[in-house]
Amino acid sequence: MTINLIIADDHPIVIDGLQRVLVYHQDICLIGHYATGEALMAGLEGHAPDVLLLDIQMPDITGDELLPVILKKYPGIKVLVLTNFDSALYANNMFRRGAKGYILKTAETETLIAAIKTVYEGGTFIETEMQEKIGKMNQQHRASGFSKTALTLREKEVLQLIVDGYTAAEIGAKLFLSPGTVKNYRNNIMLKLDAENTAVLVKKALKLGLAQ
């Protein structure tokens, strides 16, 4: 058994570290690594892996936006999220979008190898602590429902401008924020409202009275 693996991460130290680890695991073959979403999509055209290690923070497109695009085109790829985000919101969102595993970059080497093999074999991998966090978050959501106070004041400002049809650059200019910061706010709002795209986000915002 040989597991063909691709890594999507823009931090060279992560790539180097994983390459050194995989030397000792001959049943896992690293067939490519990419630093941007655009490069990854181009690379997948020629070499689709069994397992894809996907970071959430990519310089051109976030992992949560990229994931459904990948799975639509390559449904056979098992995606294992490798991230610094120790967040139940992010983990839940990535699983909802089709990820088969979620693991932090601080995990032990043995845990990472186990995660790769688990998703390759068709299972789902999530560390116990994160699983407990997701369970607790879901219980809280069911108990209390969504509250308008779940959004910060700045998030509400950004949401209103999104509903009004402004682009990230235009919102940034109005609020004196960089387009990247606006994009981060947008992603956080989408996570909180459980919206998979802008159209759904706008619909939920109007329904919940979070924007006009």
Write the pLDDT tens digit of every residue in 53-77.
999 888 888 888 899 999 999 999 9
Write the pLDDT tens digit of every residue in 111-120.
999 999 999 9
Residue whose structure tokens are 């073959």: 29
- Tell me what percent of the residues of the chain surpass a pLDDT of 90: 54
Residue 127 · residue 83 · CB < 8 Å: no
Q: What is the CATH number of domain 3-137?
A: 3.40.50.2300
The residues, ordered by sequence, that sit 6+ positions from 192 with a Cβ below 8 Å of its Cβ are 89, 150, 151, 155
Name the average pLDDT for the chain: 89
Tell me the average pLDDT across 139-157. 68
Tell me how far apart the alpha carbons of residues 76 and 49 are, in angstroms, rounded to a whole number. 9
Please list the residue range(s) of the chain that carry CATH number 3.40.50.2300: 3-137
Please list the residue range(s) of the chain that carry CATH number 1.10.10.10: 148-207
- Tell me what percent of the residues of the chain surpass a pLDDT of 70: 95
Tell me how far apart the alpha carbons of residues 67 and 51 are, in angstroms, rounded to a whole number. 13
The pLDDT of residue 143: 56
- Cα angle 105-95-50, degrees, rounded to a multiple of 5: 70
Tell me how far apart the alpha carbons of residues 113 and 2 are, in angstroms, rounded to a whole number. 13
The pLDDT of residue 60: 86
State yes or no: pLDDT of 149 exceeds 50.
no
Top-confidence residue, 54 or 47: 54
The CATH-assigned architecture of domain 148-207 is Orthogonal Bundle (1.10)
The pLDDT of residue 73: 96
Tell me how far apart the alpha carbons of residues 92 and 3 are, in angstroms, rounded to a whole number. 26
State yes or no: pLDDT of 146 exceeds 50.
yes
Top-confidence residue, 52 or 200: 52
In this structure, the number of other CB atoms found within 10 A of the CB of residue 63 comes to 26
Q: What is the pTM of this model?
A: 0.73
The pLDDT of residue 46: 85
